[in-house]
Structure formats: C-alpha cells, structure tokens
Amino acid sequence: MTLETLVQLARSRTPADRSRIQLATAALGLGGALLLGALRIARLGKGELGADVYSNYVAESGLRSGLVAILIILALLTAGLAVQALRLGTAARERRLVALRLAGASRKQVRQLSVTDAALAGLAGGLLAGPIYLVLSLLLGVLPRMAQVLPGAELLDLLIWVPVVVMTTAGGALIGGLLHRDQLLPGVERPEQVRTGIIVGPVMLVLGVATVRWFGYVASTVFVVGLALFFLSLAPLWIKTIARRFQRSGDPANLLTGIRLVADARPASRMATLLASCGFLVGTLADGTISAATEPEDLIDRTGFYVTGYVLASVGVLLIVLTGIAALVVGVADQLVDQRRQIACLTALGVDARFLRRVIRRQLTTVAAPALAGGLFLGALLGLGRITGGDADSFAPSKLLTAAGLMAAGWLLGLLAGVAAGFFLRNQLRDALDPENLRAA
C-alpha cells in the first residue's frame, strides 16, 4: 500500500474511534511537552544558577537533575496512558480490520494500518507538544518564583521540537505495532494471575514497610509496586462481586449495570487500579503538604519549598487521574458501539436515553468512586513519612480527619465523573437506542 492509501484507511470513522485517537493524541502531546521541559532544563548546564531568577528546583544543580528525571518519568507515565487509550480498540475499528482481511488484505497490510493509525496519533501529539509546553511555561510563569519549575521557551526550542515530534511519532508507531493482534480474539484472564497478585502484593507491602528505615527509597518503591500489584489483582474480584449483587437486585437499572460491569470487567479493572494508585500517591502528597505547612515559623522558607513541590506533584498526578477517567468514558463509548443491537432491543421494553444514562453513571461511579476514595484514604492514613522511613502516627485524630476528608473528596470526584460521562455520551446513548440498529447488515 502507498502511504496515502494507508492514511486514508487508517482514519477514524466513528465517534468512539475518534475519541480513542483524541485521548491518545492528548496523552502523547502532554508527554512530548514534558519531554521538551526536561530538555529545556537540561540545557541550563550543571552549575549553580541564581536563586533570585530561577526556582530553587531549577537553580540548585542537584535538584535540577532530579527535576529532569521527574519530568521524564511523568512523560513515560503519560505515554502509558496513550497505550491504554490505544489498547481500548473500538469495536467498529476491530470489525473494519476484519472486513479488510476478508476483502483480501494480508496480515502485513493490516498490521501496517494499525501502526499508521497509532503513528498519526503520535504525529498529532508531537505537533501539540510545543503549544502545550508554551502554555504550561506561561501559566507557571505567573505563579510565585518557587513554583516556576519550567523556564520560558527559547528560539532553540523550535529546533528541539522537531526531534520530539519524531520521537512521539515513532513512539506511537511502536505502540501500534506492539498492540496489534493478528487474531482479533479477546484474551482470557487466568485465575492464577489473580491469586499470585493477591499473595505477592501484601508480601511486598510488608517487606517495604519493614525495611524502609534501612533501604530508603528502594524499599518505598517495593511498597508502591506491591500496592499497585495488590490493587490490580483485587480490582477484578470486587468489581465482579458488586456486579453480581447488582444482577440480583430488583432495580432494572442495577440489573443492567451489573450485566455491563461483567462484560467490561477487564478494562474497568485496569483503570480502577490506575485510579487507586494515583489516589494513593495524591493522599501521601497531601499528607506531606499538611506536615510541611505546619512547620515552625523559623523554617518557613523550607516550608514553602516543600509545599510547592508537593502541590505541583499532586497536580501532575491529578492530571493522570483525569486522563484515566477519560479513558474509562472512552471504554464505555466502545461498549455502546459494540452492544448497540442489544441496547436497541431495550426500546421495546420502554428504555429511554434518560434511563440508559443512569445506568452509565452507575457503571462508572461503581468503578471510579471506590478506587479513588480507597486510594486517597490509604495514602493519607499511612502518610508520606511512613512510606519513606520517617516517623508517622497513622491514628492521630488530625490524620484520621484528613484521610476521611480526602476519601469523601475522592468519592465525590468519582460521582462527578459519572455525571460528566452521562453528559458527554448523550449522543452515543441516543444512537445506541435507535431502532435502526436492529436492521440486518
């Protein structure tokens, strides 16, 4: 196939497919902007800079290298969100690829279409990276000096932008190639993986907490990885448990919600794990912010330093949370496309768009609200000091009050996500209920 033919065939054809590409493009664009910021800071050199001009995080040589590393890690995390977005793979796209195979396209040509599809998202994300970095640097520029962690853009950044575009395009193509399946059949989750995670996760948690005083951040990393593994293994169990309870309910909305949760258990479990892990990080950072803000007055300068770092880190993690919720919404849109014939059958039972919107809200809030609330509560309860080897009283009244407040905030954010999803998917809900979907293809 020629490049023009590949681009034409790889273009998104449905609203759900376009939403998937837009989400991947936004994630790759943000990752490219963070990479531009890391390269901009790295060009400042290794020497000390004036603290009256730059933020302390940029002025001090040791902190500057750490800031570059953090920006690169955040760029990789956002690229991981792009992987999740492209992994959703709308049902319409899967059927289109199968149709191309039946029309005579070879496996190599179908793979080229998958790679081109993801590469176009990477190219668009790379082109967006420059404007996103410019906007971020301008927004941070109006904040106090300590928070200005991204230096202003230079003309040289235009030249650096070109290889970043190449990197995001190549990254998108690599993601598309890795995610492509020659046999478009759903994977089967093995029970052994769930049992292994439930056993190994708590072991890593206990090991990390017990050894953090001697091994520092290595033990903290073991703790966080064990927590993520435990969340990943536990999420399918509690989602299916809640789904079965819904299926035994006499409420028709709960019954339909339970059926949809069972059908969407695997991607919902992955996103619940992401939201719970991010909630845990935000909870620990909130605990560190409160601890730093209550330092004695003679340490006010260092307090501002720590509070700024914790707040900026919390904002970065919250951006990942919002992107993860957006991925959940795209997954529900994919489910609506895949099950449009079954949903259209519900019109004979009097189901309207308002009822189906209530089902969608419950489906999303059942996944997002407990995951965010549980992660925030656990992170604030343990505290940043405990997981980094410091002293922390997890059962102090003030800490319990903070943990309860963050848990309520996480639950509220999950509920708001469900309401927003019902609003953004209103057109897809109406299309799914259209009796025209019952016509034979």
Q: Average pLDDT for consecutive 10-residue bins of the chain (441 residues)?
A: 64 67 86 89 78 75 75 78 68 65 71 81 91 88 78 84 92 81 49 61 80 72 81 83 87 85 78 82 78 59 67 74 72 72 77 83 87 87 68 66 88 86 77 72 45
The CA-atom distances, in angstroms, between 337 and each of 223, 245, 270, 334, 340 are 39, 26, 21, 5, 5
Q: Which distant-in-sequence residues (6+ apart) come within 8 Å of 424 by Cβ?
A: 329
Residue type, 383: G
End-to-end CA separation in angstroms for the chain:
28
Distant-in-sequence, close-in-space partners of 152: CB < 8 Å, separation ≥ 6: 137, 141
**pLDDT computed for residue 129 by the predictor:** 92
Task: Answer for the pair 24, 121: CB distance below 8 angstroms, yes or no.
Answer: yes
Helices 353-387 and 300-338 pack at an angle, to 10 degrees, of 150
pLDDT at 128: 93
Q: What digits encode the pLDDT tens for the residues 404-434?
A: 898 999 899 888 888 887 777 777 777 777 7
**Residue 154 contacts by C-beta under 8 Å, 6 or more apart in sequence?**
40
Q: Is 421 helix (H, G, I), strand (E, B) or coil?
A: helix
Query: Which run of H or of E encompasses 125?
Result: helix 107-141
SS3 333: helix
Instruction: Using DSSP, state whether 384 is helix, strand or coil.
Output: helix
Which letter does DSSP use for residue 99 in this model?
H
DSSP one-letter code for 439: S
pLDDT at 164: 92
